Amino acid sequence: MATSICRTLKYLQPTICLNIKLPQPVFVPIRTKKRYFIPPAVNVKQKSQSEQETKARAAGVVVRQQYIERAINISCTAGIFDPYIPPEGDARLSTLSKEGLKQRTEQLRQSAASQLAFRKIKDHDPEFSTKEFPALAQQIFIDAHAALTQFNKEKLHSLVTERCYPEMVRGNRYKTLRWRFIESLEPPRVVHARCPDMISKGNLYGQVTLRVHSRQTLAIYDRFGRLMLGDEDEPRDVLEYLVLERHLVNPYGRWRLHGKIVPAWAPPKDPIIKTVIIPGPTLKPEEAFEDLHYQVPKPKAVQWYK
């Protein structure tokens, strides 16, 4: 390109040919155009922070004030308060162990607080009922996971709280998920409820735990379409404890999935299809790995929340 922008703009004329002969534009070279090039000078001096600031202020350069902010989300709580401890042997052959008895006594204590919580929820939300809520909640659960498969962000945000969303979505962006809810083996049941209030005394959030026993299929494919986990044709029986939350004081609040409780006695998950290296102990030059008899540490069986 021999011509430059500044030169061409000088004689930009509209060319609408209407059988009128306009005079041809004249090319006038610009007298004051720079025809040489001097590269920018290199500063050899090492300037300290204060010197640089004084120089910048003298030159008239204004640096915008940096706001170091951290966003707080008030539409959901940060965790599950006073969580439900699922009794051991739930949905299994009941073998009364010592831990099972301890959990039963704790359950009796907890049920009183749950009744209080239900009353508080009904104060704020008169349409809430322990009989109808499970069906609604199961539908929310199914819709949320369907939206996760399609990765429909807006719908997922309306069905799932901001605390649960990153846990559902993390690592899944470049993976394909195939999930199917086949049937519910037992009707879902509300087992637990709490109404914590955050920061100020009247700011109530309702958290309700639901026990769901269902049959589902899950298959996760990685970026290249290869199967990472699960099987699309093999349905599995799943016992889950879902926690749904709603900001009761907010008139536009909705019941949304807040998290899941994984009990301490849950069976271990299936391993993924590929082999993974577990980092082992660092060896000294004279040691050999076989002589160490290294035992891979097994994680403690603790109740955790997804």
Partner 1 sequence: MAASVVTWAGLAAFGRACGSIRSRLLGSSSTLSQVSCLHTSTELNSKHWERKNLVVYPPQQKDELRRPAEIYHCRRQIKYSKDKMWYLAKLIRGMTIDQALTQLEFNDKKGAKIIKEVILEAQDMAVRNHNVEYKSNLYIAESFSGKGKYLKRIRYHGRGMFGIMDKVHCHYFVKLVEGVPPKVEQKTGFDQAKEYVEQLRNRTIIHSL
Candidate list 6, 21, 24, 279; residue touching partner 1; CB under 8 A = 24
In this structure, the dihedral spanned by the alpha carbons of residues 15, 18, 19 and 24, taken in order and rounded to 10 degrees, is -20
- Considering the rule CB under 8 A, would residue 179 count as an interface residue with partner 1? no
Among residues 101, 80, 81, which one has the least CA distance to residue 89?
Answer: 101
Rounded CA-CA distance 235/227 in Å is 16
Measured from the CB of residue 212, what is the shortest distance to partner 1 in angstroms?
A: 27
Candidate list 45, 70, 226, 293; residue touching partner 1; CB under 8 A = 226
Give whichever of 4 and 139 is closer to partner 1, judged by the CB atom. Answer: 4
Give whichever of 220 and 264 is closer to partner 1, judged by the CB atom. Answer: 220
Rounded CA-CA distance 209/242 in Å is 6
- Considering the rule CB under 8 A, would residue 223 count as an interface residue with partner 1? yes
Measured from the CB of residue 55, what is the shortest distance to partner 1 in angstroms?
A: 21
Candidate list 6, 20, 38, 278; residue touching partner 1; CB under 8 A = 38
- Considering the rule CB under 8 A, would residue 23 count as an interface residue with partner 1? no
Rounded CA-CA distance 20/236 in Å is 82
- Considering the rule CB under 8 A, would residue 228 count as an interface residue with partner 1? yes
Candidate list 23, 29, 39, 126; residue touching partner 1; CB under 8 A = 39
Taking residue 137's Cβ as centre, other Cβ atoms within 10 Å add up to 22
Candidate list 6, 13, 200, 278; residue touching partner 1; CB under 8 A = 13
Query: What is the CA angle 263-266-268, rounded to 5?
Result: 135
113 and 82 Cβ atoms separated by less than 8 Å:
yes
Q: Which residues touch 7 (CB under 8 Å, ≥6 apart)?
A: 30
Measured from the CB of residue 57, what is the shortest distance to partner 1 in angstroms?
A: 27
Size of the site for partner 1 (CB under 8 A): 29
- Considering the rule CB under 8 A, would residue 58 count as an interface residue with partner 1? no
Q: Which residues touch 35 (CB under 8 Å, ≥6 apart)?
A: none
* Binding stretches for partner 1 (CB under 8 A): 3, 5, 8-9, 12-13, 15, 24-25, 37-40, 42, 174-176, 178, 219, 221-228, 274-275
